[in-house]
Structure 1
Amino acid sequence: MIVHRWTALGDDPLEEGRRFGAAWAPQLSGALASYLELFQQSGVTSAVATEVAEGCRDATEQHAPAVAAEFRGMAEGSGLSVQDVYLLASRTEVLARMTPSMECSTIVHIPADGSAPRTLQTWDWHETLSNETVVRRFRAHSGARVATFCEFGQPAKIGVNDRGLGVHFNILHHRSDGSRAGVPVHVVARMILEDARTVEEAVSIAESVPLAASSVFTVAAFHDGVAQAAAIEVSPAGVAVIEAEPGQTIAHTNHFLDHGLAAGEFSPYETTSVPRYECLVDAADLARIPGHRERALAFGALRDAPISVRPRPDQPAHLRWETKLTVALDVADGAVEFAVGAPADTADADWVRVGAV
C-alpha cells in the first residue's frame, strides 16, 4: 500500500477541496470505481447507494457546512459529481445497509505518572481496496491544525490535532444501522479533530448529530499533565462512552462494549473481533511502552497474534480482509506515526512520522 501526503495551503474549504480534487483526480476516480464494485458484490443496489449518499449529503450540509464546501470543491477539481464524492465519504453508511465489514484493533494506555496517552491501532480493510491512501495536513476553520490518515474521498479517519487530541477509528454494526439518514461517521471524525480539545468535547460533538451507521471513536487527549482516553461508541440508536482512568488501558475492536448498545449487535457472519479484543487485553502491558515504534514492534512480536490480519484465500474477494497499516498517535506533539502493514511486519517496514504542524 502507498501512503501519499498532502498539505493544504490555506483554510478556505472550497478552494482546498478544488486543489485536492485536481491533484488526486485519478486516485479519487479509482476509489469510486472500486467502491461501486464492492457495493455491487455486497448486494447494495445503485438505488440504495444513491439514497444513502443523498441523505448523508443533506445531513453534512446541515451539520458540517465547511466539510460540505470541501466536498463541492473536490468534485469541481476532480471532475467527479458531488454525488460521487458523497458515495466515497459515506461508504460506511452504504455498506451498513447490506454487508457489514470488519476492521481494526485499537489500544490506548493512560499512564499514571502524568505523561501522554500511548496508543496503537491496526487498520484492517479489504485486500483489493484502498491500496493508495493519504495523510492530509490542513488548518481547520477553528484554527486547529490537523493531520489525518484516510482513504481517498474521506474527510478524516485516524488523526491528531495540535490541541492535544487524537482519534482512533473502528467500525461497529448495530441493528439500527440504515434506519435513518445521518452525518457520515468519517465526517464526525473530522468534526472532532477540528473542534475538540478534550474527551468531553469529543463526546458532545458525537452526541450532537444524527447518524446512519455505527462506529467507535477512541479518543485520547493530553493537557497540562492530564491524560484522558475514552471509547465513544456511536450508532443511530444512541451514543455510549467507556472511559479509562490514569493507570488503565482501554482496548476496542469491532463489537460494542456498552451493554445497552451490545444488545443490538449485528453481524451476519463469523468475525474475529472477540479474539482480537482478547489478544489486546491479554497483552495490555505492551501498551505501556513509551516509544511508538517500539510499542508496535512489541505487539508485532506476539506469536500468531490475530491482530495481524492476513487475507483468507478461501473467502470471496469482498470478504477478504488484511491489516494494511499500523499506526500510533503522538497527542502531546500532534503527530501521526505509522508503518505500512501489520504489527508483525513493522520490523521490516519504514516507520513514518507526520506532524500536524
Structure 2
Amino acid sequence: MPLVTVSGTPRECGVAYGAAAVDLIVANTANYLARFPFDTSYARHYGSLFREASHRYAPRVADMLDGVAEGSGVHVDEIYALNGRTELIYSEQPHECTAIGVLGEQTLLAQNWDWHPDQRPYALLLDTTDELGRRALALTEAGMLAKAGLNDAGLGVCVNMLGSKRDRRDGGAPYHVLLRAALDARHLGAAIKAVCGTPRGASINLLLGQAGAPGEVIDLEVAPDDVGFLHPVDGVLTHANHFETALSSIDTLKSFGGSSFFRAARARRLLGEGPGEERIKQVLRDHGGHPQSICRHDEPDAPEADRTESLYSLVMDLDERRMSIAAGPPCTAGEYYDVWLDKTD
C-alpha cells in the first residue's frame, strides 16, 4: 500500500498529495465516474453542491480537497463527486465493514474495510502534518482524505456505511468530508460536535475513540437531521451496517436484509471471550456466515453492485498512536504491518 506523507497548510497538503498520487487519483476518479448512474456533467453538478457545503461547514477539509484537485489536475467538482461517491452510488444498500472498539489497558479501535474488490488498487495511507504541527494518519482511497484513521492527539475513527429513508444525493457535506472533519478534531467532544453540527445528505456510522487513562469510545449513528448514540458494554462496542439505536425505524437495510444483522453481534460475543489486540485480530479473521462473514469474501457471481470483500483490516492502538494494517481478506494476510505516527518516515 502506498504511503503519502505531506505537510503544510490544508491547501499545501492537498496540492502535495494530489501531485504525489496523481496517477492513482486520476484512475480512481475515472473509475467512479464510470460507475455513477449518470454522466460526468451530472457528477460535476453534485460535486459543486458538495464543494459549496464543504467550504461552508468544513472549510479546512475543503481547502485540502481543493488542493488535491490542483495537484492532480482533476476537475475540482469531480474530486468532490469522488468524495461523495457514497451519496451518488450506494446509499440504499449498505453492506460494508465491521468495526470494533475496546476499552482496557489500551484504547483500541479496529475494523475490516469491506468494499468492491476492484477498489483495492486505489487504496493508500495518507499521513498529513498541518501548519500547526497536528498530524493524522488515515487509510483512504486515492483522492479522498480519510476512512479509518488516528491522529497525534490520540483520537481515532472507524466507519460503517448506513442507509436511511432520509438519505439523498445532496443536502450537505459528503460522507467522506464528515469523516475527515472528525479525524481532524483534537478531542472526542470536538469530534462529536463536528459530526453533529455538519449538515449531511447520507447516513454514516462513526465509531470514535480517544486515548487516555482511562480512554473512551462512543458510536454515532448519523442520519440526515438526526444522530443516535451507543456506548461500550463491559468495555466492548461493535457495529456493522444497520441502525441499533432508536433511529432504526428509518433503516433501509430492513428492506434488503444481509449479514449486518449478525456480524456486529457475533463480534461482541467473540470478544467476550477476552478482548485484546490479538483477540481482535482473530475476530477480524472470523468466518461465521462465510462468505458474508466478518472476514468477508468476494462472490464473483453476485450482482456487480453487491460484490464486496475485506480489502484491508486494521487495528489502532490510540495510546501508542499506532495503526496495524493487513491486506485483506485478513484470513490470508499473515501478519499485520505496524505504522506509528512518529515513525512513518
Instruction: Give the 5 Å matches for 1:1-357.
Output: 3-8=1-6, 10-40=7-37, 44=38, 46=40, 48-96=42-90, 99-111=92-104, 115-140=105-130, 143-178=133-168, 180-198=170-188, 200-223=189-212, 225-244=213-232, 247-259=234-246, 261-267=247-253, 269-285=256-272, 288-291=275-278, 295-297=280-282, 299-300=284-285, 306-346=293-333, 349-357=334-342
Q: What percentage of residue pairs aligned between the two structures are identical? A: 25
Would you say the 8 A contact 2:210–2:216 is kept in 1? yes
Separation of aligned partners in 1, 2:29 and 2:94: 17
How many Å apart are 1:160 and its aligned residue? 0.6
Separation of aligned partners in 1, 2:3 and 2:251: 36
TM-score (normalised: structure 1): 0.88
The residue type paired with residue 351 of structure 1 is: Y
Q: 1:286 to 1:33 in 2, by over 3 A?
A: farther
CA offset digits 1:70-115 (Å, max 9, x no partner): 2222112211110111111111121256x5342100111222xxx2
The residue type paired with residue 33 of structure 1 is: A
How many Å apart are 1:287 and its aligned residue? 6.2
TM-score (normalised: structure 2): 0.91
Separation of aligned partners in 2, 1:102 and 1:25: 29
CA RMSD of aligned residues (A): 2.1
How many Å apart are 1:217 and its aligned residue? 0.7
How many Å apart are 1:303 and its aligned residue? 5.5
The residue type paired with residue 308 of structure 2 is: W
Consecutive unaligned residues of structure 2, counting only runs of 5 or more, are none
Would you say the 8 A contact 1:137–1:148 is kept in 2? yes
Separation of aligned partners in 2, 1:301 and 1:319: 20
How many Å apart are 1:258 and its aligned residue? 0.8
CA offset digits 1:155-196 (Å, max 9, x no partner): 111001111211011110011111742112211221122123
SS in 1 for 2:172: coil
Would you say the 8 A contact 2:44–2:81 is kept in 1? yes
Separation of aligned partners in 1, 2:99 and 2:237: 8
How many Å apart are 1:52 and its aligned residue? 2.7
Would you say the 8 A contact 1:286–1:295 is kept in 2? no
Q: 1:263 to 1:298 in 2, by over 3 A?
A: closer
Q: 1:253 to 1:135 in 2, by over 3 A?
A: same
How many Å apart are 1:58 and its aligned residue? 0.7
CA offset digits 1:133-164 (Å, max 9, x no partner): 11111124664211111111111110011112
Would you say the 8 A contact 2:125–2:140 is kept in 1? yes
Would you say the 8 A contact 2:270–2:283 is kept in 1? no
The 10-residue stretch of structure 1 (277-286 or 79-88) with the greater mean CA deviation from structure 2: 277-286
How many Å apart are 1:336 and its aligned residue? 1.4
Q: 1:265 to 1:335 in 2, by over 3 A?
A: same
Separation of aligned partners in 1, 2:261 and 2:100: 14
Segments ≥4 residues shifted beyond 4 Å = 44-48, 301-305
Would you say the 8 A contact 1:48–1:94 is kept in 2? no
Would you say the 8 A contact 1:102–1:171 is kept in 2? yes
Would you say the 8 A contact 1:146–1:356 is kept in 2? yes
Q: 1:238 to 1:101 in 2, by over 3 A?
A: same
The 10-residue stretch of structure 1 (328-337 or 50-59) with the greater mean CA deviation from structure 2: 50-59
